[in-house]
Amino acid sequence: MIKHIYKIRVRYSDTDQMRFVYHAKFFEYFEWARTELLRDYGLPYSEIERMGYLIPVLEAFARFKKPAYYDDLLRIETFMKEIPNLKFRLEYEVYRDVDDELVAEGYTEHVFLDAKTYKPVKPPEVFMNFVIENFKSCKNKRC
């Protein structure tokens, strides 16, 4: 398993008329968390694009447990629980950091595309090496 933690502070512009974080914002939070996961593990998305790949979202889901409010510090825990074949899934748990309250949870599913043809391809070797290495070394601080 791969685990990553990313923290964000809710901005005023993230909230709606009810003063909650607008539900669609959580998908942005998921995106920020997954790109930082890749960056922190040494494989920034910009490098993946330079290698000629894209990683679109195929499916996204969120379940909302409690409201999050302006100025809350949120902790997003991102997990990859299975070694991917063609597709891969990342799961997210969003906590209010101050009280450890679960605010939302969800997942996104992805596939690698060849950036020139837009056809699905197997994950590149560098990505698979990154995944396998981190699954094997799950004793590090990120697991």
The active-site residue out of 14, 16, 40, 71 is 16
Average pLDDT over residues 102-123: 98
Q: For residue range 60-92, what is the model confidence (pLDDT) as tens digits? A: 999 999 999 999 999 999 999 998 889 999 999
Q: Pick the residue with more confidence: 13 or 137?
A: 13
Tokens of 57: 């979202």
- Please name the residues in contact with 96: beta carbons below 8 A apart, sequence gap of 6 or more: 66, 68, 72, 73, 74, 75, 103
Q: What is the pLDDT of residue 112?
A: 97
What is the pTM (predicted TM-score) of this model?
Answer: 0.91
- Please name the residues in contact with 9: beta carbons below 8 A apart, sequence gap of 6 or more: 71, 72, 73, 74
Q: Which helix H or strand E contains 79, and what residues bound it? A: strand 73-80
Query: What is the set of domains in the chain, with CATH numbers?
Result: 2-136 (3.10.129.10)
Spell out the alpha helix ranges (H) of 3-143.
Answer: 25-40, 45-50, 125-136
Give residue 137's pLDDT band: very low, low, confident or very high (50, 70, 90): confident
Active site residue 16: yes
Query: Is the pLDDT reported for residue 143 higher than 60?
Result: no
Tokens of 51: 């290698």
Q: What is the pLDDT of residue 31?
A: 98
